[in-house]
Each structure stands twice: as structure tokens, then as C-alpha cells.
């Protein structure tokens, strides 16, 4: 099996990342095609340079990269992250992993260079997604939580605290601190729902419950969660989910229910007023007939009855106006 310089060159060319070989003084000896493709410089352009004059070293980064190379010469073999320059002038981040070898009795540095451009873009996309999720959580009155069933710890987003009127709180707390905030009347429903999830009877933990805020009042939340991880035995080891503030929705529901009751009461009142008005008309007709009889001793009683009928008619009219307003 060939193990000479030609074989070493083939191995270097087969590496997907850029490779640069320089002597102890920094003179370039070998570069692979991947480094040429990465930087945009030809092999000849990269090898026809004096030490510390590599074309992919940006002028503004020259001092920093030169100092890094000298640390490598002193035996500090990284890895390092630097900024290189393409022939087009574009700056791009790289990670370098230096090593030392001996060739023809001389020490040489073999450096593998990885272009981090796509990695940085992906990291920025992840950060942007994280910012977007945070914005959505804030806009939707949401808080996130995770329950580590192995350590019995709760991991909470800061919005969990702000929704309860607290400026901030620990990112990790005990389940006991959570349970203490659940309204006693909602505890059983909460426990039953989480138990159904852990036992596999339901794919989703979902329950409406009240939590005690910092001023002692109770606020309604909709809690949802799913199993995120399982142990080797298949049992849930971590669950996570969200808490959504639905207090305003619950208040609106209560107001709507009260309004519906008032509507029913109004309809009932309208029916009673209508029937009562019909009865008053009958009474008024009868008192009119009694007056026609002309018995003097009856007139005083009829006057009192007429007065009561007038008051009753006015009350009925008021009820009807209230119903139809």
C-alpha cells in the first residue's frame, strides 16, 4: 500500500473541507482544491505567497490571524474561529483545526478549514425563529413549561410569572410551587387530566384551571401539554406545554350568561305584563259597568278600585317599556 507523498496528497484532496499545509516558518506548501473552491483563489495564487501574506487573510483581521498562527507555532493547537476573505471580497467565518506533523525531518502545520457560513445562517434562522416564537407567546398571552418527571422539576418561561403579576421568577422550580397556586376547586380536574396523559389514556393534557396571582386573586388559564420524552421503559420522562391566559374570555362568558338570563327574564316579564294588562282591561270594564248601576254606596269603593287600576296600568306600561327598550 502506497504511503508516500503522492498518497498523502491524494488523501488531502479527498477531504471535503479546506486543507492548508505550511512549514514552521509559515511558507505555504500544499493546499487542496476544496480550499481553492472555498476562497475563490487558484492553487497557484495560494502557494505563491510569502509567510503571513495569504490572500484569504482580510487586512483588518491580519493582526488577529497572525497572532493565532504564532500561538499555533508555540504549540497552542486550537481549534480557532476566524474570519477569512474570498477573492470576491466577501468575508466569511471559518473554524480551523490545526495539527503538527513531520515531513522530511521538518515540522509542518496541517490546518483543516471549515466554512461556517451556512452554519451561521442556520443559527441565525434558529434565533429568528426563537424571537418569533417569543413574540407569538407574548401576543397570545402564553407561557411555556416543561415538567421533568425524573427530577420532579418544572422549567418555566418568564411569561408564566408576568401573567400572574410577578416581575420575574426562577426558570426552574419544584412542582410543589406550582400546585400551591392551583385553586382548590380545580385541583382534582387538573390532577385527573395530567394522570390521563401519563397513563396514556389521552394524547393531550388539557384543562381549565385557576391560578393564584400575586395580589391573591384568581385568574383562569387553559393548560395544554404533551409527552415530549420517554424513558427506556417507555414511560413518560418529560412533558411540556403552554398556559394560556383565558381570564378575559371567562369574564366575557360570565357576562354573556348573565345577559342571557336577563334576556329570559325580560321575555318572562313581557309575557307577564301582557297578561296582566289584559286582566286590568277586564277589571276596568267591570268597574265601569258597576258605576252604571248608580248605587251611591258603591262609588267610594269604585273610586279606590279605579285608582289602584290606574297605578297597576302605569306599572304594566313601565314593564313593557323596559322590555322593549
Residues 138-191: pLDDT tens digits?
Answer: 665 788 899 999 999 999 888 888 888 888 888 888 888 888 899 999 999 999
**Better-scored residue on pLDDT, 265 or 103:** 103
Per-residue pLDDT band at 132 (split at 50, 70, 90): low
**Better-scored residue on pLDDT, 193 or 251:** 193
pLDDT at site 303: 63
Residue 159 burial (CB count, 10 A): 19
Dist CA 70 CA 105 (whole Å): 21
Give the rounded distance of the alpha carbon of 66 from its chain centre: 44
| pLDDT above 80 (res 16) | yes
What does CATH list as the number for 5-120?
Answer: 3.30.450.20
Of the options 1.10.357.10, 3.30.450.20, 3.40.50.150, 2.160.10.10, the CATH number for the domain spanning 140-245: 3.30.450.20
DSSP element (H, E) containing 255 = helix 247-293
Dist CA 54 CA 182 (whole Å): 66
Residue ranges per structural domain of the chain? 5-120, 140-245, 256-324
| pLDDT above 90 (res 268) | no
Dist CA 53 CA 207 (whole Å): 67
DSSP 161-216: HHTTT-S---SEEEHHHHHTTB-GGGHHHHHHHHHHHHTTS-S-EEEEEEEE-TTS
Dist CA 76 CA 38 (whole Å): 25
pLDDT at site 2: 47
Cβ distance 112 to 19 under 8 Å? yes
Please state the rounded mean pLDDT for residues 301-320: 63
Cβ distance 50 to 61 under 8 Å? no
Dist CA 23 CA 25 (whole Å): 5
Are 5-120 and 140-245 in the same CATH fold? yes
Cβ distance 239 to 227 under 8 Å? yes
Amino acid at each position: 500500500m502506497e504511503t508516500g507523498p503522492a498518497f498523502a496528497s491524494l488523501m488531502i484532496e479527498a477531504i471535503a473541507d479546506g486543507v492548508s499545509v505550511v512549514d514552521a516558518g509559515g511558507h505555504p506548501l500544499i493546499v487542496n482544491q476544496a480550499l481553492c473552491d472555498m476562497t475563490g483563489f487558484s492553487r497557484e495564487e495560494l502557494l505563491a505567497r510569502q509567510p503571513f501574506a495569504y490572500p484569504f487573510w482580510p487586512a483588518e483581521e491580519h493582526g488577529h490571524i497572525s497572532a493565532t498562527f504564532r500561538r499555533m507555532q508555540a504549540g497552542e493547537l486550537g481549534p480557532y474561529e476566524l474570519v477569512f476573505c474570498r477573492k470576491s471580497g466577501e468575508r466569511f467565518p471559518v473554524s480551523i483545526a490545526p495539527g503538527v506533523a513531520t515531513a522530511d525531518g521538518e515540522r509542518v502545520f496541517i490546518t483543516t478549514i471549515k466554512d461556517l457560513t451556512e452554519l451561521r445562517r442556520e443559527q441565525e434562522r434558529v434565533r429568528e425563529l426563537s424571537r418569533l416564537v417569543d413574540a407569538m407567546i407574548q401576543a397570545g398571552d402564553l407561557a411555556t413549561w416543561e415538567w421533568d418527571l425524573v427530577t420532579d422539576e418544572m422549567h418555566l418561561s418568564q411569561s408564566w410569572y408576568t401573567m400572574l403579576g410577578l416581575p420575574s421568577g426562577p426558570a426552574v422550580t419544584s412542582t410543589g410551587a406550582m400546585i400551591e397556586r392551583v385553586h382548590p376547586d380545580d385541583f382534582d380536574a387538573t390532577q385527573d387530566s395530567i394522570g390521563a396523559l401519563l397513563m396514556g389514556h389521552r394524547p393531550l393534557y388539557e384543562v381549565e384551571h385557576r391560578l393564584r396571582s400575586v395580589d391573591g386573586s384568581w385568574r383562569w388559564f387553559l393548560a395544554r401539554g404533551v409527552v415530549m420524552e420517554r424513558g427506556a421503559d417507555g414511560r413518560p420522562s418529560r412533558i411540556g406545554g403552554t398556559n394560556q391566559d383565558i381570564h378575559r374570555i371567562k369574564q366575557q362568558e360570565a357576562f354573556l350568561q348573565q345577559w342571557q338570563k336577563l334576556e329570559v327574564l325580560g321575555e318572562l316579564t313581557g309575557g307577564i305584563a301582557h297578561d296582566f294588562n289584559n286582566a286590568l282591561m277586564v277589571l276596568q270594564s267591570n268597574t265601569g259597568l258597576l258605576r252604571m248601576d248608580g248605587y251611591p254606596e258603591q262609588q267610594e269603593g269604585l273610586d279606590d278600585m279605579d285608582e289602584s287600576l290606574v297605578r297597576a296600568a302605569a306599572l304594566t306600561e313601565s314593564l313593557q317599556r323596559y322590555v322593549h327598550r
